[in-house]
Amino acid sequence: MKRSSFLYFRKLLPNASRRAALRNITVAAVASVVIAPVLLVIPAQQTQAATPDNMLVIANRIDDITTLDPAQSFEFAGSDVIRNVYGKLVNFNPGDLNAGYEPDLAESWEVSEDGMTITFTMRDGVNFHSGNPVTAQDVEFSLRRVIMLEKTPSFILTQFGFTKDNIADTIKADGNTVSITTDKKYATSFVLNCLTATIGSIVDMKTVMANEVDGDLGNEWLKTNSAGSGAYKVVSWKPNESVTLQANDDFYKGAPAMKRVIVRHIQESATQRLLLEKGDVDVARNLNPEDVAGITGKEGIKVHNELRGRLMYISMNQKHPVLSNPKVVEAIKYLIDYEGMQNSFLKGQYTVHQNFLPQTYLGAIDDKPYSFNIEKAKALLEEAGVGEFEIEAGVREAQERIEIAQTLQNAMAQVGITLKITVGTGKQILTRYRARELDLYVGAWGPDYPDPQTNAGTFAFNPDNSDEIKATGLLAYRNAWEPGALGEKTAAAVTEGDVEKRRAMYEEIQREFLTTAPFAIMFQQIEQAGMGDSVSNLVLGGAITAASYWPVTK
Amino acid sequence: METPSAQAEPKSGDGVSNNRRSEPPAPSATTASGSRWFLIKFLKTLGSIAITMLGLLFVTFIIGRVMPIDPVISIVGERATKEVYDAAYQEMGLDKPVLVQFLYYLGDVVRGDFGTSYLNGRPVSEDIRRVFPATLELATIGTLIGIIVGVPLGMIAAVKRDSWIDQVARVVALVGYSMPIFWLGLVGLLVFYGILGWVGGPGRVGIFYVDMVPPVTGMILIDSALDGQWEIFRDAVSHIILPASILGYYSLAYISRMTRSFMLEQLNAEYVTTARVKGLSEWAVIWRHAFSNIKVQLITVIALSYAGLLEGSVLTEIIFAWPGIGSYITTALLSADMNAVLGGTVVVGLVFVCLNVLSDLLYSFFDPRAK
């Protein structure tokens, strides 16, 4: 049957019944369209409430947490948790991070004549969450445990010469005291600063050993549980979802005001902002510059700025015949538009900082001798007599780093330097950087532990510059730079017992580093967190440590 | 997405022609041979599932092993000493030949052990038990919305072809699958959560209810109902409704276009004209005759769309902070956590296979000839 005849037959059909059928379908469709919004409205009255007064809810990216065992954790979000759960021998006071370490579980300490042994006297009357008292034995166990487990961050302690074989002698509890003996004399401040790191957390020996499996020293159990004496205990950690902490009302510094702290994993900046604006979270920690601008000035919300430890720098490979000329190095330092970048694409996220110690580190200085000055750079290049040349910069695929490289590329073009920018994955670029193959590297560096040595020992220390040694962990080595006398000064600063003298040494090292090193340190990171107006006393840890929740009030 | 015939398997052809033959083939076999026939079919299905899964496992495993990433580094970190690195390398069994590694892995998988996630040190099977129900819950409601709205919409569009309602349906569907889903999600959140406050925000439940329901199935809607915690149930509904509607919109766009084209095919067929000539009511013509004949095709389309959602919608999950399998696999992949990637892939593969078997069963239910 052809279509024309089909139409003919269709006309024969009763119109009424066809319309009835259509009406039925329409009703069904309309009904389902209407039902959906009704479903939406039913629960509406419940979603309006703000967070309770004694609960702190934080939106953060926590997908970097791999474990909550303090002997293994080496990530930002994990440090935030552990800092609030475990006590340490010495610790930073969130009220005054610049003051340096102060007594925590150790009430006092003494340094032996030879400067190699520190003996800590334990504070009385502090208990773990389990109710067990915190004793010198727990300290002995916790520190030995770090050496025995050999997890990634254990280098922070093993750099003092502790090994599996010698810990029976070097880390020892005796009654109410515990003593640690290093392999040679180190600055006391160096050792104590390292003990404030996550790795220095004191765990409850009895609880941990009760949960030991196959001689793992409780490593498996501590991944998801806690056995500390700090302000909070871990209720749950669900990877990529949330961490829930419950206040320890017996905390020796007083019960925290926030009885529950919940950190929710929220990947998207826009989502974090919405939650903050609705009052469903108190703090949003990963807002991008656009969202920070969006919430600035909004009622009930404030933006909290805090300097963190991350630095941005450009380094110049001394294997390159032209870049090894000190005049060229200096010229490049004048070709960086520090202010311009700080006020444009890095606005609010980074501030100009030209030394390798971030602010709040012992010995940090605020000298900023370099500024964007094309004429000066030109003059220096002429003095050097290098003419026009081409170099390659390696950049990891991160937006702001690429923009920094491009800004430099523009400036260099004005003085006859052709900059070829190679963008690659972290692995590609880092591999070449470590192999000392990059002329220029645009990168970031974050300190590993809260002592100036963490940066000084990598930027300004390179005892053997030969190709065979492969000291690829050192930034100075990666750029084939021999710091010479500066390296010796850096090594000396590590052993200086007097804190004030040590501070002065780092200040001096940095002033020299500023002018001679083939590193142009450019920026220090600022963390911008959005917060509800009522949240006060939340300290995110500055450059040296992690967030502290116990002083927070709402 | 727009090409129905490519998606809707060869069976759809049978579905169309089938209705012209008024009677199903006479059941010639006796009951005894019938049950033997069923057993054979059952074993055959089982065999094909096993082979499919084995192939999937093998390919994923090999890809995982030849990928230029170092899973050891992702555990021990860049600063690890050579000893630490070597210990981890051996612990992970990477020193053995690839085929041996695969056989070990296969043995573990058969016992339901997907190994330990390199990243968080937990058993992958435990992780999947946690993330898959979240996706299942979301995808199921999304698909239900897709069916409830999409099928009638497609029907009307076909019956009232070229009318205004057909045009509206076309625009709705076009917007549905041409709009980026993350954009819809963000705007949806802004409007319904941010401005109107009608729905709960990102996450599966409000912050007060986190960890308040004993996990039985892992699906909060079901668990809270089982536990009789209706307040949590309502809160969970308010949280799921927006992401589910967004996914539902996406799937209704597809389902309605498919329904429309299947229906048009039927309505233009001669048997429909015959039915009309015979004086059947339009209701009977559309629902009893035409619709009955597109059921099989529709099942294929719905199953495909459901399977797509069960794979986990990464962008939706990220925007709504929904801890589902999509973002789980993505995070694992980016961190070179191959055990987690393999485990996730196997589960997604299993879902596809199961949905296939299920739709096969449904075919034979709706299509007498497929028995």
Compute CA B352 distance to the chain's CA centroid, rounded to the nearest angstrom. Answer: 7
Give the phi and the psi of residue A391 in degrees, each rounded to 5: -135, 165
Indicate the DSSP class of residue A548: B
Average pLDDT over residues A227-245: 91
Cα distances (angstroms) measured from residue B89 to each of A426, A428, B93, B99, B340: 22, 22, 7, 17, 17
pLDDT at B11 over 50: no
> Which parts of A187-243 fold into alpha helices (H)?
188-195, 205-210, 219-224
Confirm or reject contact between B162 and chain A (CB < 8 A): no
pLDDT at A489 over 50: yes
Question: What does the pLDDT look like over B265-302, one tens digit per residue?
Answer: 888 888 888 888 888 888 888 888 888 888 888 888 99
Average pLDDT over residues A230-250: 91
Show residues of chain A in contact with B211, CB under 8 Å.
235-236, 244
Average pLDDT over residues A201-214: 93
Percentage of chain B modeled with pLDDT above 90: 10
Band (pLDDT 50/70/90 cuts) for residue A40 is: very low
Average pLDDT over residues B110-136: 84
Domains of chain A, CATH where assigned: 55-300 (3.40.190.10), 307-526 (3.10.105.10)
Average pLDDT over residues A198-220: 92
**Between B2 and B115, residue with greater pLDDT:** B115
Question: What does the pLDDT look like over B153-198, one tens digit per residue?
Answer: 999 898 888 889 899 889 988 888 788 888 888 888 888 988 888 8
Band (pLDDT 50/70/90 cuts) for residue B5 is: very low
pLDDT, position A417: 92
Question: What does the pLDDT look like over A91-118, one tens digit per residue?
Answer: 999 988 888 899 999 999 999 988 899 9
pLDDT at B25 over 60: no
pLDDT at A42 over 70: no
Can you tell me the distance from the alpha carbon of A451 to that of A454, in angstroms, rounded to the nearest whole number? 6
Euclidean distance between the first and the last CA atom of chain A, given in angstroms as a whole number: 79
Q: Where in chain B is the domain with CATH 1.10.3720.10?
A: 139-198+241-370
pLDDT at B8 over 80: no
Confirm or reject contact between B190 and chain A (CB < 8 A): yes
pLDDT, position A10: 38
Cα distances (angstroms) measured from residue A528 to each of A59, A303, A305, A430: 13, 6, 5, 28
Which among A313, A277, A317 is positioned nearest to A295, based on CA atoms?
Answer: A277
Radius of gyration of chain B, Cα coordinates, nearest whole angstrom? 24
Smallest CA–CA distance, residue A133 to chain B, in Å, is 30
Give the phi and the psi of residue A403 in degrees, each rounded to 5: -65, -35
Band (pLDDT 50/70/90 cuts) for residue B31 is: low
Confirm or reject contact between A275 and chain B (CB < 8 A): yes
Confirm or reject contact between B212 and chain A (CB < 8 A): no
How is residue A309 written in tokens? 């430890």
Query: Taking CA atoms, what residue in A is nearest to B233?
Result: A43
Q: Compute how many other C-beta atoms are within 10 angstroms of the C-beta atom of residue B168.
A: 13
pLDDT, position B9: 37
Half-sphere exposure of A125 (CA within 13 A, CB side): 5
> Mean pLDDT lowest for which of A350-354, B164-168, B227-231?
B227-231
Average pLDDT over residues B8-23: 39
Can you tell me the distance from the alpha carbon of A153 to that of B274, in angstroms, rounded to the nearest whole number? 80
Confirm or reject contact between A163 and chain B (CB < 8 A): no
Show residues of chain B in contact with A37, CB under 8 Å.
198
Q: Which of A58, A60, A76, A240 to mutate to test the interface with B (most CBs of B within 10 A)?
A: A240
> Mean pLDDT lowest for which of A263-267, A281-285, A356-360, B223-227?
B223-227
**Secondary structure of A62-104 in HEC code, one letter for each residue:** CCCCCCCCCCCCCCHHHHHHHHHHCCECEEECCCCHHHCEEEC
Which among B137, B139, B242, B244 is positioned nearest to B189, based on CA atoms?
Answer: B242
pLDDT at B12 over 70: no
Percentage of chain B modeled with pLDDT above 70: 86
Query: Taking CA atoms, what residue in A is nearest to B134?
Result: A241
**DSSP 3-state assignment of A389?**
strand
A·B CB contacts under 8 A: 184
For B139-198+241-370, CATH gives 1.10.3720.10
Confirm or reject contact between A240 and chain B (CB < 8 A): yes
**Secondary structure of chain B in HEC code, one letter for each residue:** CCCHHHHCCCHHHHHHHHCCCCCCCCCCCCHHHHHHHHHHHHHHHHHHHHHHHHHHHHHHHHHHHHCCCCHHHHHHCCCCCHHHHHHHHHHCCCCCCHHHHHHHHHHHHHCCCCCECCCCCCEHHHHHHHHHHHHHHHHHHHHHHHHHHHHHHHHHHHHCCCCHHHHHHHHHHHHHHHCCHHHHHHHHHHHHHHHCCCCCCCCCCCHHHCCCCCCCCCCHHHHHHHCCCHHHHHHHHHHHHHHHHHHHHHHHHHHHHHHHHHHHHHHCCHHHHHHHHCCCCHHHHHHHHHHHHHHHHHHHHHHHHHHHHHCCCHHHHHHCCCCCHHHHHHHHHHCCCHHHHHHHHHHHHHHHHHHHHHHHHHHHHHCHHHC
Can you tell me the distance from the alpha carbon of B163 to that of B170, in angstroms, rounded to the nearest whole number? 11
Query: Taking CA atoms, what residue in A is nearest to B79?
Result: A152
Band (pLDDT 50/70/90 cuts) for residue A65 is: confident
Average pLDDT over residues A469-475: 82
Can you tell me the distance from the alpha carbon of A538 to that of A554, in angstroms, rounded to the nearest whole number? 10
Percentage of chain A modeled with pLDDT above 70: 91
Can you tell me the distance from the alpha carbon of B162 to that of B235, in angstroms, rounded to the nearest whole number? 42
User: Over chain A, what is the mean pLDDT?
Assistant: 87
Confirm or reject contact between B210 and chain A (CB < 8 A): yes
Smallest CA–CA distance, residue B180 to chain A, in Å, is 16
**Between B325 and A398, residue with greater pLDDT:** B325
Average pLDDT over residues A195-219: 92
Percentage of chain A modeled with pLDDT above 90: 60
Confirm or reject contact between B67 and chain A (CB < 8 A): no
pLDDT, position B91: 76
pLDDT at A24 over 80: no
Query: Taking CA atoms, what residue in B is nearest to A270?
Result: B186
Band (pLDDT 50/70/90 cuts) for residue A244 is: very high
Q: Are A231 and A256 in contact (CB under 8 A)?
A: yes
Q: A468: buried, middle or exposed (CB in 10 Å: 19+, 13-18, 0-12)?
A: exposed
Of B117, B197, B273, the CB nearest to A1: B273
pLDDT, position A122: 94
Show residues of chain A in contact with B76, CB under 8 Å.
152
Smallest CA–CA distance, residue B35 to chain A, in Å, is 41
Confirm or reject contact between A262 and chain B (CB < 8 A): yes
pLDDT, position B291: 87
Band (pLDDT 50/70/90 cuts) for residue B6 is: very low
Of B127, B245, B282, the CB nearest to A13: B282
pLDDT, position A392: 93
How is residue A139 written in tokens? 């300290």
**Between B225 and A208, residue with greater pLDDT:** A208
Q: A519: buried, middle or exposed (CB in 10 Å: 19+, 13-18, 0-12)?
A: buried
